[in-house]
Amino acid sequence: MSVEVARRIVLLRHAKADWPEVADHERPLTERGRQDAHLAGRWLAGAGVRPELTLCSTAVRARDTWKLCATELPHRPRTSYEERLYESSPGEVIAVLNELDDAVRDVLVVGHNPTLHGLADVLAGTAEGDTRARLHATGFPTAAQAVLSLTGDWKSVEPGVAHLATFWTPHP
């Protein structure tokens, strides 16, 4: 008999990035982006979400968002910098999640739009109150976070299996 394990996926879009004349992968955060990354970390700590693993895009803006966010957490989770999260589709992120070890219960994914917006929408079979409407109204702005809950193993993550529990933005 299998036991249904409660899991959470937190999706964190990188904070506001600058547009200097560098390759897209190398774009740095703006000053507002650095401040918002700290706010995202404070919100995560205050919400009591304790990811055991962070999967982070290799783009500079995503890595810097995670580094600043993590300084606000009481415990920094293990981090894996994942090339497949840069310029990915929701399906590609689901494939990455399907590979996770089932010992991991809560994971944080630091990535990009439109992927994270699409992923939150496609995974959420249900949503808390007006959370889905707020997600659609805002378009998943920089430094926003969505918390999805689900049961089962990571191999069973697919469209519609999660509950969109929370959607937070640094500038409501």
Q: pLDDT by residue (tens digit) across 32-81?
A: 999 999 999 999 999 988 999 999 999 999 999 999 999 999 999 999 99
* Domain annotation covers residue 1: no
Q: In this structure, are residues 136 and 98 in contact, taking their beta carbons and an 8 Å threshold?
A: no
Separation of CA 61 from chain center: 14
* Domain annotation covers residue 82: yes
**Number of domains composing the chain:** 1
* Domain annotation covers residue 158: yes
Coil, helix or strand at residue 128: coil
Q: Report pLDDT for 117.
A: 97
Q: Report pLDDT for 1.
A: 41
Which has the closest alpha carbon to 113: 148, 80, 85, 72?
85
Cα separation values, 91 from 64, 67, 108, Å: 25, 26, 17
Q: For the chain, what is the mean pLDDT?
A: 95
Average confidence (pLDDT) over 126-136: 92
Q: How far apart are CA 164 and CA 149, in angstroms?
A: 7
* Domain annotation covers residue 29: yes
Cα separation values, 117 from 31, 71, 114, 122, 142, Å: 24, 25, 5, 9, 11
Domain that includes residue 118, residue range = 6-168
Looking at residue 139, which CATH number applies to its domain? 3.40.50.1240
Q: What would the pLDDT profile of 91-120 be if each residue is shown by its tens digit? A: 999 999 999 999 999 999 999 999 999 999
* Domain annotation covers residue 117: yes
- pLDDT at residue 122 tops 60: yes
* Domain annotation covers residue 130: yes
Query: Residues of the chain with pLDDT > 70: what percent?
Result: 98
Q: Report pLDDT for 3.
A: 59
Q: How far apart are CA 81 and CA 88, in angstroms?
A: 14
